[in-house]
Amino acid sequence: MNCGKARKVIYLADRLSSASTGWVEAQGHLQGCPLCRRFFSDEEALAAFLRERSSRTPAPPHLREKILAQMARKRPIVSEGLAIRGRRRVRLAALLLFISALVLLGGIAGYQVLTRDWQERMVAELIDDHVRFQPGAYEITSPQADQVEAWFSGKVDFAVQAPRFEQVELLGGRLCYLSGKKGALLSYRKQDTLISFYILDGSDVSLDRFNRREWGHETLALESDRGQSLILWKDRGLAYALVSDLPEEELVRMALAARRGKV
């Protein structure tokens, strides 16, 4: 058995956690081949280094599979014989493996940064839109939920349902543009406090990167910034958010009421 075939058998067996055809022969080759022993020793050292330095948050399976497939295609096969050329190829293999590992780490880090940046940007945009909004600057002004709902018909790609909150007054609504999405904003008031209720397309919104809490069977994401609280949740392909400087527990009660009201 030559070096390339032996390495393939051992490499696959290690990852599948089971002996494959040719395992015994491959092990015999490994015992008598210093180049192959050094090859696997270098791989183990590099793997330990990457485990120690890499993030604990895993990248998506499709990203890992794509990069590992590229690494497998680039892995050079060191033929037996010609020790000098063999050593050069081993060093080249180690270098290519190291570069591929850096690409993998870069992909993982890039994915995490993009996801984290998107989450932070969404929170910032929602809170900024709420803080900057001037009361009275509505495109539809009405305390009647059915009138506000009818105004949004045809202006957004989903049906708008305005929650009916106890002791909370509906002021009106307008279109909003957040994170590249056109959505609906409904504005409410409780005593002298303004409450913004956002409805957006939630097809690419994930709650995984937010601070989440469970209330029975309900999952809500809770964030805060600049003295404002934000409650976010998803339902039937839409993302909903309540933003206000009301106490967080009061805003959570409103969010749960809206969810249970099948908003």
Q: Number of C-alpha atoms within 13 angstroms, CB side, residue 23?
A: 10
Looking at residue 162, which CATH number applies to its domain?
A: 3.30.200.100
E strand intervals along the chain: 140-141, 169-178, 181-190, 193-201, 212-215, 218-225, 228-235, 238-244
Range of the domain at 35: 3-113
Domain termination residue (choose one: 62, 85, 113) = 113
Positions in the chain short of pLDDT 50: 76-82, 108-116
Contact 230, 123 (CB under 8 A): yes
Measured N-to-C along each axis, helices 3-16 and 34-53 cross at an angle, to the nearest 10 degrees, of: 40
What is the predicted pLDDT for the residue at 79? Answer: 45
In a shared domain, residues 236 and 193: yes
Whether 103 maps to a domain, the answer reads: yes
The whole-number pLDDT of residue 102 equals 58
Q: Say whether both 59 and 137 belong to one domain.
A: no
- Number of structural domains found in the chain: 2
**How many angstroms from the chain centroid is the CA of residue 6?**
39
pLDDT at 198: 94
Same domain, 91 and 157: no
pLDDT at 149: 95
First to last CA, the chain: 66
Q: What is the pLDDT of residue 204?
A: 76
- Pairwise CA distance, residues 210 & 89, whole Å: 47
Q: Do 74 and 7 share a structural domain?
A: yes
What is the predicted pLDDT for the residue at 202?
82
Among candidate residues 148, 195, 137, 190, the one with its CA nearest the CA of residue 167: 190
SS3 244: strand
